[in-house]
Each structure stands twice: as structure tokens, then as C-alpha cells.
Amino acid sequence: MYIDLLNPFWWLATAIICYKAFALADAAFRRDDAYRAADKKTKTFWVVVLALALGADLLFGANPVTGLLTLVGLVAAIVYMVDVRPAIKLLTDGRGRGGRSNQGPYGPW
């Protein structure tokens, strides 16, 4: 274990797994209709793709140098985080629950 902490590839693999886990959790907690409103693939599609990407890393081990499954899954997570998440966040006001903000009946409060 101590030797793993000194290995930069272990840190890189851990960061990739954490990034994919965050992307999966974010995709799972967003509203389903927001994906359609943002003209993106469905929520089910993104949750399945990101779950497969994370599952492959947890099952086979994340190898950031030569692992093709790791790199393909990382690309999917990056596409979700850079393209899909901002579009959905814009529609749902960043909260994932739909359009609520700090607006009262007479303006902001």
C-alpha cells in the first residue's frame, strides 16, 4: 500500500475513477426531462454509459496508460461534463430541480 501511494499512475487512476463517479452521480440526480429540453441524449443513455465506464474500471482496474476501456470511459465522462452537464444546468438553474431561484413575487430577495 505504501508503494502505491508513491506511484503517480496510482494517483492518476484514482483521479479518473473519482471523476467518473462524480459524472455518474451527477447524471443520475438530474431531471429526465432536462435532457430532452437541452436536446441531448436521454438520461438513461448517459447513466448507462457512465455506469459501464465506471464499472469497467472498478472490475478490471483503471489503467490510464494502456487501458483502452479506461480511456474510452474517460472520454465519455469528459463529454458529459463539458457538453451535457452545462446545458442541463443552464435549463435547471444549476440546482437540478427546475427553474427555482431566489426570485420572489416582486423581484429578487
DSSP secondary structure string for all residues of 34-96: HHHHTT---HHHHHHHHHHHHHHHHHH---TTT-HHHHHHHHHHHHIIIIIHHHHHHHTTTTT
Record the cell numbers describing residue 107, joined without a space.
423581484
Record the cell numbers describing residue 38, joined without a space.
437541452
Q: Does residue 16 lie in a domain region?
A: no
Q: Does residue 72 lie in a domain region?
A: yes
Confidence of residue 30 (pLDDT cuts 50, 70, 90): very high
pLDDT of residue 108: 67
On the question of pLDDT at 96 being above 50, the answer is no
Q: Could you tell me which of 66, 83, 52 has the C-alpha nearest to residue 13?
A: 66
- pTM of this prediction? 0.80
pLDDT of residue 58: 92
Residue 81's CB is within 10 A of a number of other CB atoms, namely 17
Return d(Cα 81, Cα 75) in angstroms, integer.
Answer: 10
Confidence of residue 28 (pLDDT cuts 50, 70, 90): very high
Q: Does residue 55 lie in a domain region?
A: yes
* Ranges 2-16, 69-83, 94-108, most confident: 69-83
Q: What's the mean per-residue pLDDT of the chain? A: 86
Q: Does residue 89 lie in a domain region?
A: yes
Q: Does residue 32 lie in a domain region?
A: yes
What is the number of domains present in the chain? 1
Average pLDDT for residues 85-103, to the nearest whole number? 70
Confidence of residue 94 (pLDDT cuts 50, 70, 90): low
Q: Does residue 15 lie in a domain region?
A: no
Q: Does residue 104 lie in a domain region?
A: no
What's the alpha-carbon Rg for the chain, to the nearest Å?
A: 17
Q: Does residue 7 lie in a domain region?
A: no
Supply the range of the domain harboring residue 32. 24-96
Return d(Cα 22, Cα 17) in angstroms, integer.
Answer: 9
